[in-house]
Chains A and B, each alone.
Chain A
Amino acid sequence: MKQNKKMTATRKFLLAQAVFVILILGYFYISTMPSAISPIAGKAVSDPDFIFEIENSDEIVVSTSPEFTNPIILKEGSEVVLPPGTYYWKVLGFLRDSEVYTFTIESSVGLDLREGEEKTILENSGNVDLEVGEKKSGITTTAGLDVGEFKEVEGGVDYEGEQN
């Protein structure tokens, strides 16, 4: 009778141990899950500068394909210039990866004209190469202006920019 009681106590004790270990392992599994904070899944990004924010990892993989056939692996602090398009990405973890997220970089045409007394600067502030038309005295001439490129131009002239 006494032995039976002891056996039941041991069983209860072992069960409590098992529950404790399972809970701990469950906590470990959830807390170390690599996950993404931003960009939010499916987000359209038009700002050329944005940051991937991730948790429980310092490495991500970005690709234009959902199967990650042409992967670009980015570690903490690394930078890459991505052309407009839809991208798939996931956070790489030690034992497992996060789910796959997508974001879209929308093409953006931007033209900045800074007219001064001594010089005028025209800058491509968008994320696509531009063909810029310069209209002067009824004549239009065109020239390319790459992403981030700027050049000194004539003041008092009309400029129009479109994706090249």
Chain B
Amino acid sequence: MKANKINLKIILVLVFIFLLANVSALGITPGRTSMNFEAGLHKDVSFSVLNTEKKDMNIIFAVKGDLAEYIILNQASSVILSTENSKSFSYSVDLPGSFAKPGLYEGEIMVIETPKDFDEEGAFVGATVAVISQVHVYVPYPNKYVEAELNVLENNGKLTFIVPVISRGKLDIVNIKANIDIFNGAEEKIASLETNTDTLNSLERKELFVDWNPEVNPGRYKAVVTVRYDNEVATVLKEFNIGEMFLEILEINIKDFELGEIAKFDALVENKWSSNLKDVYLNILVYNSEGEIMADFKSPTYDINSLSKSEMVAYWDTAGVHEGTYEGKLILKYGEKATDKNIQMKISQYDLEVVGFTGHVLVKGKGGSLNWNFILILIVGILVVANVIWFVLIKRLLKKKR
């Protein structure tokens, strides 16, 4: 047992734990507010600043961009308390009578988290994080003009390509459709798809769509969307993934765990990519309740053959760690790429459980096979049958009596 511990301590040369000095986390919603130009338009717009780290923070606001002179913020700074998940603010937009040219005019509402040592003169040392809520004002083009995007949704192996199209011109469009060419990593075209055809009125937004059942290996692909509307063309390029990730962590086992000792993480990893991967390693980050990284440990590097599984081992010295639930991140690094999963670590004296994955919408059904509704329906069903039998018997008895 002692020899094992010494060996583990040697392996721990790979492991480093460090405390972070500063965490800056800031969010803003919506990320963008769009509006079509109207002469003299007045609009009040609200937005929320998100306190993702749930800490006390000072923030200041700034306005930038082409529209800065038309945007009035209702306040210049604010304080957000740790108890507030988000805080709402607002600004107003007062547009002029006209703009010189058609097209997009941008404004930016910038929120900056100021460091604690920020003084009244506005001088401070250290990194700052700022997030921006954009204001987009579209002045219509005199002709036909379409802007397009591409959203790729994956569900049960089927891909849905949604092409939102917005008319930014003053003329209606009588025929619009999109062709989507899919290219693999070697720039070879592997599929060509065509969406539905539609019409699009001036300043209207619609969505073109097409489904695709890909019979290709998981990986990164590129879509080239060509939107044809009347005699015009708009193009969009977008890269997307097929399959959740190239490397997947199938399970993590921590055997014989004891708090305060060195925990051995045995991870079973599957390479779902169609080629061998070299120098793959596992990196686990553990955050404390303030969201700071309290532990950061790595496994040695491994080579994993294509479409095969491999065990990876990482060690964490839990000396000084308290019982509780900690947020963390599992990162698989290979080459310059990385895939990660958010996790929770439930730590007790003799158990360390790694649970939880986030980042997706999850459907959870209620009304499964055995619930109160089911039991009630069963009882009512039995009552109905009993009632019918009873009814038939009574009728027969009455007949006999007659």
Contact = CB atoms under 8 A, between A and B. Distances in A.
A51 B362 contact: yes
Contacts of A69: 196, 209
A112 B127 contact: no
Interface in B19-48: 19-32, 48
B367 A112 contact: no
A26 to B, nearest CB: 11
B31 A162 contact: yes
B78 to A, nearest CB: 17
Q: Which of B29, B30, B110, B383 has the most CB of A within 10 A?
A: B29
B213 interface: no
Given A81-B153, A117-B21, A108 B360 contact: no
B246 to A, nearest CB: 15
A145 interface: no
Contacts of A157: 127
Contact of A70 (B127, B160, B359): B160
Contact of B207 (A10, A64, A79): A64
Contacts of A162: 31, 108, 131-132, 134
Given A111-B25, A155-B127, A79 B32 contact: no
A17 B389 CA distance: 12
B400 interface: no
Interface in B144-184: 151, 153-156, 160, 162, 164
B155 A73 contact: yes
Main secondary structure of the interface of A (DSSP, over half): mixed
B31 A126 contact: yes
A84 to B, nearest CB: 8
A160 B359 CA distance: 23
B137 interface: no
A61 B86 CA distance: 31
Given A48-B359, A81-B153, A70 B162 contact: yes
B52 interface: yes
Nearest to A48: B359
Nearest to A107: B31
Interface in B253-301: 291-293
A84 B31 CA distance: 10
A12 interface: no
Nearest to B384: A24
A156 interface: yes
A147 B373 CA distance: 41
B365 interface: yes
Interface of B: 16, 18-32, 48, 50, 52-53, 86, 108, 110, 112, 126-134, 151, 153-156, 160, 162, 164, 196, 207, 209, 211, 291-293, 338, 340, 358-368, 373, 376-377, 380, 383-384, 387, 391, 394, 398, 402
Given A54-B367, A56-B373, A114-B293, 20 more contacts: A31-B376, A37-B366, A48-B358, A48-B359, A50-B361, A51-B363, A52-B362, A70-B211, A72-B153, A81-B361, A82-B361, A84-B30, A107-B30, A108-B31, A110-B28, A111-B25, A112-B291, A116-B293, A120-B127, A158-B128
A51 B358 CA distance: 11
A49 B360 contact: yes
Q: Which of B18, B25, B363, B380 has the most CB of A within 10 A?
A: B363
A46 B50 contact: yes
B387 A80 contact: no
B212 to A, nearest CB: 12
A32 B207 CA distance: 34
Contacts of A48: 358-359
Interface of A: 6, 10, 13, 17, 20-21, 24, 27-28, 31-32, 37, 46, 48-60, 64-65, 69-70, 72-85, 106-118, 120-121, 125-126, 128, 148, 150, 155-163
Nearest to A70: B209
B391 A17 contact: yes
Given A155-B127, A162-B134, A80 B359 contact: no
Contact of B131 (A75, A81, A110): A110
17 contacts: A49-B362, A50-B361, A51-B362, A54-B366, A54-B367, A56-B373, A78-B362, A85-B151, A110-B27, A113-B127, A115-B24, A117-B18, A126-B27, A156-B126, A160-B130, A160-B131, A162-B131
Contact of B362 (A17, A79, A85): A79
A59 B292 CA distance: 39
A28 to B, nearest CB: 7
B25 A110 contact: yes
Given A113-B129, A116-B293, A163 B31 contact: yes
A159 B373 contact: no
Contacts of B133: 109
Contacts of A161: 129-132
B30 A160 contact: no
Nearest to A161: B131
Listed from nearest, the 4 A-B pairs whose CB atoms lie closest are A58-B365, A107-B31, A110-B27, A162-B132
Contacts of A148: 340, 359
B225 to A, nearest CB: 15
B155 A72 contact: yes
B21 A115 contact: yes
